[in-house]
Chain A
């Protein structure tokens, strides 16, 4: 007898679990915070925890917004989806960690946010751009140059992994759980970005020329992090660290964040 489900690969892939039939594809999603007490431990410095969460959240949010601009602009359809997936991973991290920041220290919530707006959205949409704590590398605009994007993403991911490792060791169980999930995601981001770095750096004369130029563009924006793995990736790509130069005085963050916030500020009740 022919099983009708075999007609649709996704139907046979998506094993429906009770109550999750509404998902068209895939079921059994995990909640990274399942079973974790979200009470802020009394012996923690709540303000310092909120600071750490905001820094992690802002890096992820700003980078996600920057990556989102590649939708419909990546050189290949396959990479467009890959970049969007990375952006969505980062956005998910930002949501959880910004929520945690406000749980740890409610005073970080911007007073201008309407009361019905959840904490994560209040922090994302109602702080002014200069209040964000992201590294400059995350806001850097590759201006449509895929090589610059790859260099940016490689460096950002290595930097983020060191920050997530710090967060994983946090005495706050919620931040630690978020970091464990983020670390797995970041490991894939690294595989994607370094894969391209090596292909382009070690590819044709033209791709190599473009990667050398891309590195010199991102280099002034490099945050402080353990560069061991990043440098190893550069060397596998036959690339060298360019001479250090001061970062140009360009505010790439303000227009990026203003665009991100424009809808939420114009129509705070908007849903979709």
Chain B
């Protein structure tokens, strides 16, 4: 890849009925402002979104695949952490 290649950005879109932004993909752009325009053109062409976040991929700190076990295995057998033992009142949305 040439040195002049644009940096990579990750794109998050909030859908019309969505409550939170969801990662939809990535793109190249010269800066954040252009990344927002590019995201609009690449990821909301089909009327998906009402809000877009972009962030430089290099700014994301990710968990390592090597640490998968110690990170995630401990919660695999603790079913009591799910709020499934309670009756959820009808007027509580989005649980």
Which positions in A face B, CB cutoff 8 Å?
1, 9-10, 12-15, 23-29, 76-79, 81-82, 85, 188, 191-192, 195, 199
Contacts and interface: CB of A to CB of B under 8 A. Distances in A.
A81 B33 CA distance: 17
Contacts of B49: 13
Interface string B45-58: 11111000000000
Interface residues of B, number: 28
16 contacts: A1-B84, A9-B22, A10-B48, A12-B15, A14-B48, A25-B46, A25-B47, A26-B46, A27-B47, A28-B16, A78-B27, A78-B29, A78-B42, A81-B41, A85-B45, A188-B40
Contacts of A10: 24, 48
Given A1-B82, A1-B84, A76-B6, A13 B48 contact: yes
A13 B37 contact: no
Contacts of A28: 16, 47
B16 A15 contact: yes
Contacts of B13: 9, 13
Contact of B37 (A1, A9, A25, A192): A192
A78 B9 CA distance: 12
